[in-house]
Amino acid sequence: MTGTQHDAYGEELARISRHQGEAVNARLRLFEVLAAAGVPAAEADVLVSRLEAGAVAGAHTWVSESSALHGSQQPFEDGWFAGVRAVSSYLLRIADDAAAQRGRAASSAELRAHLREPAGRVPQPAAPPAAPAGSALDPAEVLAAALRCTWALTTPDQFFTTEASSEILTVALSAVREEEHDGYVQRLEAFAHRHRERLEKLLRTHGPGSAPAAHGRYALVGQPETLVVCERMETARLLLYGLWEGELEDVLLDDLAYVWGVRRPTR
């Protein structure tokens, strides 16, 4: 990829990231307005999911009706239409998934409470997670970045309590070495972009509402803090496991590692 191509692709990613962030904020605001208007959460889920499925269906129509350049040779046309069919089929699956999304109105309300921490609704709100001693990392900034990424776009049915989330984030950030602090938020966002499809598959197959999760396992899948855990499993797995042991339940990390596709480090 040339420098010009790389710059153009970077600009595309930046625009997509902006649209994604705006969509998350718009969805949260829409659920908030519907709730204030007295619309039940189940009905709000249906309305928003249909809007999102319709938007993807519009992209499907645009792609499926595209044609190769006039006068193209037959092999090129065959390849073009094969690509169109593949993309169209994938868009259809995305539209179907969007139409089936449920539970997001309730989780959006929980997410707003988590972010705003209204004293009237939380009897004993936990203090913001403390950064590891001597660390320049801001846990609130890292959490905000995780919420902007793919991990949070699914708005899973339930988040852990604030206290449990703080413990997860604290342990995960403890595995970020001091020399990695500068620019860590940007690297976390790049990690989410690089592993977007992998994260989406993880959420789809083992996230809230899935058959495996119904048995009480894979509780970390869907937690925004877990984006940091996944990044650390790729970058500093041995350190992460060492810090996790004795602080949090081993099965939480082992389940996540299994579906993420990494092995527990040997000693």
pTM beyond cutoff 0.95: no
Tell me what pLDDT residue 184 has. 93
Give the CA distances from residue 46 to residues 105, 131, 203, 240, in Å, rounded to whole numbers and listed in that order: 10, 40, 20, 40
Tell me what pLDDT residue 120 has. 37
Tell me what pLDDT residue 187 has. 92
Tell me what pLDDT residue 98 has. 76
150: region left, alpha or beta (phi > 0 left; psi from -120 to 50 alpha): alpha
Residues lower than pLDDT 50 in the chain: 114-115, 117-128, 131-135, 154-158
Q: Which helix (H) or strand (E) holds 109?
A: helix 104-116
Token pair for residue 40?
Answer: 């039940």
Alpha carbon 95 to chain centroid, angstroms:
18
Q: pLDDT for 43-96, tens place per residue?
A: 988 998 899 889 888 888 888 888 888 888 999 988 988 998 988 888 888 888
- Show the CA angle centred on residue 115, arms to residues 110 and 121, nearest 5°: 55
Q: pLDDT for 128-148, tens place per residue?
A: 455 444 446 888 899 888 887
